[in-house]
Amino acid sequence: PPGQAPQRKPIAAIEKIKYIVAVSSGKGGVGKSTTSANLALGLSALGWRVGLLDADIFGPSAPRLFGLGGQKPEVVDNRLVPLEAYGVKVMSIGFLVDEDVPMIWRGPMVVQALGQLLGEVAWGELDALVVDMPPGTGDVQLTMAQQVPLAGAVVVSTPQDLALIDARRGVAMFQRVETPILGVVENMSYFLCPHCGGRTDIFSHGGARQDAEALGVPFLGEVPLDLAIRETSDAGTPVVATDPKGKYAAVYIDLAEKV
């Protein structure tokens, strides 16, 4: 219940993880998974041992983002061994079910699946586990906030009003369950035309920064809307892995430093 300190049972599989960071968004399609993947790669570029847990049970995207589609994790000593890509350990429900099979599950099953992804995975020693949350404020978010010792949450939003209203709800939910908000990221913040160099604020601009200031939470940065970010994600080599010294990698590594 709101205002009550969460009761946490220690989960052995995650005991050797120093920081668990949830990446969330109020609604889908704002770039939460893209941000999670590149943030994980950014932390890895800083020399951290990093894992990524795709907790977006209904729309897992980590297998594709990390170029691991179709692969199955091994089971050793009753624990799933995370797959590895670009130095990041990855676990997703997408490795366990067929991509075309819809997940028609009720809340308790979702929570049980999440429990397995957290508790029955051989994460080993990690400096950080980035958790790509499902959009919104449902069962998974509550379970994560109540059962997992989260270092904090990063909220991703586009600059647009509608996305921001949902993002504010997300911030409020984490605050209620006493999870620190590490900050807000404005994704698709602006667009620079590759032909004329002109700038267009396709989804408006600056709304996430204003909201972060109004809510008294840190603003972590702006990520532009860019073809390279979309193409590299679709190709299974997120932009930080594709071009670790490039300008977009710098944007995400900067986010990683602030988180």
Binding residues: 26-33
CA distance 198 to 178: 43
Binding residues for ATP, by number, are: 26-33
Strands 75-76 and 50-54: unpaired
CA distance 196 to 11: 53
The footprint of ligand ADP on residues 200-259 (CB under 6 A) is: 223, 225-226, 229-230, 233
The answer to whether 17 contacts ligand ADP (rule: CB under 6 A) is no
The footprint of ligand ADP on residues 35-94 (CB under 6 A) is: 61
Q: Which two tokens stand for residue 27?
A: 């609604």
Indicate the residue among 6 and 138 with the shorter CB distance to ligand ADP.
138
Indicate the residue among 42 and 49 with the shorter CB distance to ligand ADP.
42
The answer to whether 180 contacts ligand ADP (rule: CB under 6 A) is no
Query: Of the candidates 186, 255, 189, which has an alpha carbon nearest to the alpha carbon of residue 224?
Result: 189
Tell me which stretch binds ligand ADP (CB under 6 A): 21-29, 46-54, 67-75, 212-220: 21-29
What's the number of CA atoms in the CB half-sphere (13 Å) around residue 12? 3
Q: How far is the CB of 32 from ligand ADP (least distance, A)?
A: 3
The footprint of ligand ADP on residues 158-177 (CB under 6 A) is: none
CA distance 31 to 171: 17
> Among residues 4, 16, 18, 29, which is the contact residue for ligand ADP, using CB under 6 A?
29
CA distance 210 to 225: 19
Q: How far is the CB of 10 from ligand ADP (least distance, A)?
A: 30
Indicate the residue among 11 and 228 with the shorter CB distance to ligand ADP.
228
Q: Which amino acid is at 57?
A: I
CA distance 89 to 53: 8
Task: Write out the residues near ligand ADP by the rule CB under 6 A.
Answer: 25, 28-34, 61, 187-188, 223, 225-226, 229-230, 233
